[in-house]
Amino acid sequence: MEKENSMIEEIKLPEISENVDSGVVIEVLVKSGDFVEKEQPIVELETEKATFEVPSPIAGKVTEINVNEDDEVKVGQVILKIDTEAEATQKETETQESRRPADEQKDAANTTPEEPKATKELPPEKQESAARENEQAQAVEPPSQPARKEASASPAVRRLARELGIDISEVAISGAGNKVTQEDVKTYAKGVIAAGENRRAGGVTARALPDFSKWGQIKREKMSVTRKKIADTLSYAWSQIPHVTQYDQADITGLEQFRAEYSKRVEEAGGKLTITSILLKIVAWALKAFPKFNSSVDAEADEIIFKDYCHISVAVDTQRGLLVPVVRDVDKKTILQLSVELSDMSDRTRNNKLAPDEMVGGNFTISNLGGIGGTGFSPIIYWPQVAILGIARACERCRYIKGEPQRRMILPLSLSYDHRIIDGSEGVRFLRFVVEKLEKPFLLAIDE
């Protein structure tokens, strides 16, 4: 926040979370002339980690809005300006706003940047196609700036280029200062793809798509920031990590009795006693018993990074895609505490109320698709983690116990792990450890 004069202050995008330096504006929640209270939401942003509202740090009258919907806003960029001495005129402002004609208010809210003159002079029916052709022509044009031996770029920009398989010295610089930005890297990548060059992007060969409209009607839909991040993360993980998936089954007949016995107590505390909340505790035990699963691979340094803390990511199905909030210090919490925390975190994730820093720092992931269905699946590891546990839907099966057939509830499990540091025998032992704990619920009761 930076003073412009005695009354007007600039409201800038604050630091969001670690490794997140920008967001896309989903909605501007105020308009010029509005009076805002301190901590009142002013814009809604979507980042690669979460969707959240940015509050105003001060109260006053909005004098200027500097962003529009779909704009990418960087940390430190001015969002809007506020007259801090206009508090006394709040009622007068509200009265004047209520007197404005409805059409005028609508026009003001929908103000967009002026189109280029050349496009505006075309007939209306040709403006859209001309703008699209111009955009495509710019995208297809391959980068022409000569390669530099040493490119100036921040660590975040270099990491992005590395993940996309791009030599940063080949990226053209768009602005002043001889410094490569994230936008420069993205523009270069788009140019390479549009030109149909066989470049390696995250380990996957980029190829030009055919014209699908030749065979029938099509519809294009822009990928959201969240969906693009999911695609980038999973593509990178799949190309960089040699996956092995181990399968097993757990007899959870006794565990279901355990859940029935304790579920009411958990509900009274505000949570739900689910298979996932119980597995959080079991996985925390397993990570202590098998420390390689609680590590990350530093390929550049040829080192394994072991972690002494236990933060576990839990995949949550939302309208925006599969998101992975993190439950922290799982090893230090009871199943009751974990059940309450997981219920709250899942609700906030689905309602876009999760803070960006609640989506990072996980050591291991649990993905439970049993509520939807399926008999099993092979989950993709969530880089830079080295393993992920998948849970499918439990079903009744006939099992022979001491020679007698019995109906038992069987839970399918799948464990994907990084074969660079985890051998098959270790993968089997880890998964058997989880199965044995699921099959002995009295151990859970003793732990509680």
Residues in CB range of 183: below 8 A, 6 or more apart: 174
Residues in CB range of 22: below 8 A, 6 or more apart: 47, 72, 73, 74, 75, 182
DSSP, residue by residue, 320-365: TEEE--EE--GGGS-HHHHHHHHHHHHHHHHTT---GGGGS--SEE
Residue bearing tokens 């390696």: 200
- Say how far apart CA 112 and CA 19 lie, in whole Å: 31
Distances (CA, A) of 223 to 32, 102, 229, 231, 381: 30, 33, 10, 10, 22
419 in active site: yes
Residues in CB range of 118: below 8 A, 6 or more apart: none
Encoded tokens for 341: 């925390």
Q: DSSP label at 17? A: B
Q: DSSP label at 20? A: B
Encoded tokens for 296: 């990350």
Catalytic residue among 31, 159, 348, 419: 419
DSSP, residue by residue, 248-278: EEEE-HHHHHHHHHHHHHHHHTT----HHHH
Candidates 201, 172, 167; CA nearest to 187 is 172
Using an 8 Å Cβ cutoff, are 90 and 74 in contact? Answer: no
Using an 8 Å Cβ cutoff, are 416 and 242 in contact? Answer: no
- Say how far apart CA 256 and CA 287 lie, in whole Å: 24
What is the signed CA dihedral for 220, 224, 227, 228, rounded to 10 degrees?
90
Residues forming a β-bridge with 60: 36
| 158 CB neighbour count, 10 Å cutoff | 14
Q: Which residues are catalytic?
A: 419
